[in-house]
Structure 1
Amino acid sequence: MISALLRAVEEVFTAPLRRVVAISLALAAASFAGLCVAVAIALHNAALVGWWPVDSLIEVLGVLAVLVLAWLLFPAVVTIVMGFFLDRVAAAVESRDYPALAPPHGAGIGDIIAATLRLMLLGVILNLLALPLYLLLPGINFFVFLVLNGYLFGRAYFEVVALRRLDRGTAKAVRQRFAGRVFIGGLVITGLFSLPLVNLVAPVIATAFMVHVFEGLRRIEPRISLS
């Protein structure tokens, strides 16, 4: 996993991915700004009680709430926004590091984007539902955040890579066989999204990272070796 992560970070600085990294930075910044505005409007409309001292206090505290909620939802939202470009990242990494691979022949790009969209929308919903746990249970909240998002991001980014070369049924079977590795990979990706600045290019690093994880399974998984 460490080797795969280091190789993925290195990929960010290569020529084939510079344009995607630039797009990622722009879309990530726009996504975070949009989230802040949307959350601020929602909280403002929901919080006003008609008594100005209370409303003023809520609005002051609301600034912190806006930042926390935007940070919480940002990984899933930016993954959705970047969905159209993640296949390009996987293709660039395969071309550079695994030139002997045959052209991908798994699910189409539309299926990959649809699968990512479904998982990340689920991620938004589940994180909102888990918000009371995040706010009220210190210590446990961090564990819940890691487990929930580790599973979601591990599965989502694994499917981005695996569905390029496997049909949906085979990709699911491989993911279930290596559920532990996929989950650990998801924890790594969750960590990337938790780091300021790094999270702006986290979708690119996460996709490259999962390509290396997936290719590392070829020696022990015949269904991948045939892809």
Structure 2
Amino acid sequence: MLIQSVFAAAREIASPSLRRILWKSIGLTVALLVLVWLGLTKLFDIFLTNHELSAAYPIVDSLAFFLAGFGLFVALIYLLPAVSAVVAGYFLDDVADVVERQDYPADPPGRALPFGKALLYGLRFAGLSLLVNLVALLLFFIPGVNIGAFFIANAYLLGREYFELAAGRFWPPEEVARLRNEYRGTLLAAGAVVAGLVLVPVVNLVTPIFGAAMMVHLHKKLARDAARGAPGRREAPASLERF
């Protein structure tokens, strides 16, 4: 299921029907990252300018600016999942409409989340992602733990976020939570795919659209699997039977 969804999403993000959304998503992602960069740069500048050591020891000032630049780069990497959450919440319905219309024309279409609710989803996960990644950032200087903590935390968060956005077009929150818990292993693996993309420079700019498209496909497959009541699994929710 997951591999099929990954290849389907990779094929579709460059298709003419999604290309316009992709460019808008990249533009918004870059704009948010630039704003974050400028904000952090200003904070560092204020701190260093007012630091007592700057006047007494100029070499400390120069070293601090160098470390600040490196620190800002690292900070942006850890903040990218949160930025991705906001962008995904903004564009998911546009992506889902295209994918559902092209690949699942016989299925009932999903209901677009109200703009405020979609944005709230994105901001909620962005806040949670920011909190978790700040903790992961504290582990940055511990070899073997830093990347692992970043990857595992974001695999869980991104898998959960994208699934809730995609499934929320069809089901109430309690059914979304039930399906999410039923397939938590698959969703963790899906989140790991998205988290892996976040680590790849330039490619990570397409993460919101790729993740949204992949999760729309994966939600369709998981919902149908649950409706069939695969052997060895507990009974699927009644509301999933329309799949």
Match of 2:94 in 1: 88
Q: Distance in 1 between matches of 2:118 and 2:173?
A: 10
Aligned: 1:6 with 2:4: no
Deviation at 1:150, TM superposition (A): 0.7
Deviation at 1:21, TM superposition (A): 0.7
* Farther off after superposition, 41-50 or 88-97: 41-50
Match of 1:99 in 2: 105
Aligned: 1:153 with 2:177: no
Q: Distance in 1 between matches of 2:112 and 2:206?
A: 26
Match of 1:29 in 2: 30
Deviation at 1:129, TM superposition (A): 2.5
Please provide the CA RMSD for this pair: 1.8
| Bigger Rg, which one | 2
Match of 2:232 in 1: none
Deviation at 1:110, TM superposition (A): 3.4
Aligned: 1:67 with 2:68: no
- Give the 3 Å change call, closer, same or farther, for CA 128–177 of structure 1 in structure 2: same
Q: Distance in 1 between matches of 2:216 and 2:96?
A: 6
Deviations 1:80-127 (A, max 9, x none): 144221111011111111111113248645333322321121111221
Residue 108 of structure 2 aligns to which amino acid in structure 1? Answer: A
DSSP-derived class of the 2:139 partner: helix
Structure 2: segments with no counterpart, 5+ residues: 228-236
- Give the 3 Å change call, closer, same or farther, for CA 155–194 of structure 1 in structure 2: same
* Farther off after superposition, 183-192 or 211-220: 211-220
- Give the 3 Å change call, closer, same or farther, for CA 204–105 of structure 1 in structure 2: closer
Q: Distance in 2 between matches of 1:37 and 1:27?
A: 15
Q: Distance in 1 between matches of 2:113 and 2:20?
A: 25
Match of 2:147 in 1: 142
DSSP-derived class of the 2:225 partner: coil
Counterpart pick for 1:162 among 151, 161, 167 = 167
Residue 151 of structure 1 aligns to which amino acid in structure 2? Answer: Y
Q: TM-score, normalised by structure 1?
A: 0.92
Deviation at 1:28, TM superposition (A): 1.7
Match of 2:200 in 1: 195
Deviation at 1:204, TM superposition (A): 0.3
Aligned: 1:179 with 2:195: no
Deviations 1:171-200 (A, max 9, x none): 011101111111111111101121111111
- Give the 3 Å change call, closer, same or farther, for CA 103–109 of structure 1 in structure 2: farther
Q: Distance in 1 between matches of 2:225 and 2:13?
A: 28
1:107 and 1:167 in contact (8 A); partners too: no
2:85 and 2:161 in contact (8 A); partners too: no
Structure 1: segments with no counterpart, 5+ residues: none
Query: How many residues in Structure 1 have an aligned counterpart in Structure 2?
Result: 226
2:166 and 2:212 in contact (8 A); partners too: yes
* Farther off after superposition, 198-207 or 122-131: 122-131
> What is the percentage of aligned positions where both structures have the same residue?
33
- 1:15-54 matches, within 5 Å, as 15-48=16-49, 49-50=51-52, 51=54, 52-54=58-60
Q: Distance in 2 between matches of 1:157 and 1:141?
A: 24
2:81 and 2:129 in contact (8 A); partners too: no
Residue 32 of structure 1 aligns to which amino acid in structure 2? Answer: L
Q: Distance in 1 between matches of 2:63 and 2:111?
A: 57
